């Protein structure tokens, strides 16, 4: 995408705020004229983020359950997930390309792997936060291992897990922009194009939308957390 030269496409405004003559950072004309493109990029960014976080959570829960209570296994799981996070994203995604191609799947897998650093630790910390006397009481009521996990431990661990999920989601919104290296960057594609072409309105609008998307997802997860953990909300207001 490039800046307009002089007037708007319809010749109604002379010059528009994103023409070469003006090239403003904040331009409502750009938002209105390129609305379809912005919606498409934001939708793609949202889909990548949700898929990556869901993949990370799907992997993190069994990894944490398999490692908890086993110090050596826990160290290996935490160390492995942290090691993945140390790989620069500009290197990780190209490493996946031979396996998954220049597709959205490549970005989702890469970002999902990055989420493990936060989510595995959050699940482990959440399970550790469950009081031992609660576990003992549940066992005394006849709860077996799996019933104890699903009916007692995971619900009580949920506030800590959701806090980690919120951090992972917000960070993934930012990291998703790097998907431009495999042509699947969502809003990152607009940010990169705006930077390369010195298109101020495109660069600023896409950046603001990234921030707004992160705030909205965080707010949604906060509402979900409060709805799913009414006991924690009651304790906080007591």
**Number of separate domains in the chain:** 2
Do both 137 and 74 map to the same domain? yes
Do both 167 and 149 map to the same domain? yes
pLDDT tens sequence for the chain (238 residues): 666 554 444 445 556 787 777 888 888 888 888 888 899 999 999 999 999 999 999 999 998 888 887 888 888 888 888 888 888 877 888 888 888 877 888 889 989 999 999 999 999 988 888 887 878 787 778 777 787 888 788 888 888 999 999 999 999 998 888 888 777 778 888 888 888 888 888 889 999 999 999 999 999 999 998 888 776 665 554 4
Do both 19 and 49 map to the same domain? no
What is the distance between the alpha carbons of residues 22 and 4, in angstroms, rounded to a whole number?
10
Quote the pLDDT of residue 3.
64
Quote the pLDDT of residue 59.
93
Q: Which CATH number do you get for residue 108?
A: 1.10.3720.10
Do both 7 and 49 map to the same domain? no
**Residue 235 is assigned to a structural domain of this protein:** no
pTM: predicted TM-score of the whole model, two decimal places: 0.84
Q: Whose structure tokens read 């979900």?
A: 224
Quote the pLDDT of residue 234.
54
Do both 21 and 49 map to the same domain? no
* Helix (H), strand (E), coil (C) string for the chain: CCCECCCCCCCCCCCCCCECCCCCCCCHHHHHHCHHHHHHHHHHHHHHHHHHHHHHHHHHHHHHHHHCCCHHHHHHHHHHHHHHHHCCHHHHHHHHHHHHCCCHHHHHHHHHHHHHHHHHHHHHHHHHCCCHHHHHHHHHCCCCHHHHHHHHHHHHHHHHHHHHHHHHHHHHHHHHHHHHHHCCCCHHHHHHHHHHCCCHHHHHHHHHHHHHHHHHHHHHHHHHHHHHCHHHHHHHHC
Host domain of residue 12: 1-31
């Amino acid at each position: 995408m490039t800046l307009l030269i002089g007037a708007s496409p319809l010749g109604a405004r002379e010059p528009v705020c994103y023409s070469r003559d003006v090239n403003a950072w904040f331009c409502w004309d750009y938002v209105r004229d390129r609305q379809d493109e912005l919606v498409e990029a934001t939708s793609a960014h949202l889909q990548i983020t949700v898929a990556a976080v869901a993949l990370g959570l799907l992997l993190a829960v069994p990894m944490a359950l398999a490692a908890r209570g086993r110090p050596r296994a826990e160290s290996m799981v935490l160390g492995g997930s942290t090691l993945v996070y140390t790989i620069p994203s500009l290197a990780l995604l190209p490493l996946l390309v031979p396996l998954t191609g220049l597709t959205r799947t490549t970005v989702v897998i890469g970002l999902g792997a990055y989420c493990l650093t936060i989510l595995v630790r959050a699940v482990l910390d959440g399970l550790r936060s469950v009081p031992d006397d609660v576990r003992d009481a549940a066992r005394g009521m006849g709860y077996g291992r799996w019933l104890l996990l699903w009916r007692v431990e995971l619900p009580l661990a949920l506030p800590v897990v959701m806090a980690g999920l919120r951090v992972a989601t917000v960070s993934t919104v930012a990291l998703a922009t790097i998907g431009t290296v495999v042509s699947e960057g969502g809003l990152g594609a607009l940010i990169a194009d705006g930077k390369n072409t010195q298109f101020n309105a495109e660069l600023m609008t896409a950046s603001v939308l990234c921030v707004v998307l992160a705030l909205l997802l965080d707010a949604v997860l906060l509402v979900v957390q409060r709805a799913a953990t009414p006991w924690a909300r009651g304790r906080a207001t007591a």
